[in-house]
Amino acid sequence: MIETIKSMILDFQETTRGTGVPRRLHIKTVSGKAAVSIGVRRSGKSTYTYQIIDRLIKSGVPRENILLLNFFDDRLHNFRRENLALITEAYDSLYPEKKNAETVYLFF
């Protein structure tokens, strides 16, 4: 499973996605806390997430500091919440120099 997660992390970092029509929505974040977008299916949550990621990259955040993992991906069919630590383990094995040294943005 860890190799699958590593593959998904690298797939995201190598892929450019369209960001659609810019949203005028802005989610206020609280340092050290998760921000959550909720809504009905096909309401633009993923598009908005890609827009946030695009803004981070344009502001100078390296793509390696952004982790996006889509739990609807078929490759994670057998993934269980007991395995959540595998996500950080996979990321840290890809980028050991970033562990506790830089801000990493996680999108699930």
Number of domains in the chain: 1
Cβ–Cβ < 8 Å for 108, 81: no
Give me the pLDDT at residue 47, please: 87
pTM of model > 0.85: no
pLDDT tens-digit map of 8-55: 999 988 887 777 787 777 778 888 888 888 889 888 888 888 888 998
**Per-residue H/E/C for 20-75:** CCCCCCCCCCCCCCCCCCCCCCCCCHHHHHHHHHHHHHHCCCCHHHEEECCCCCHH
Give me the pLDDT at residue 66, please: 93
Query: What amino acid occupies position 75?
Result: R
Task: Give the structural domain span for 24.
Answer: 2-107
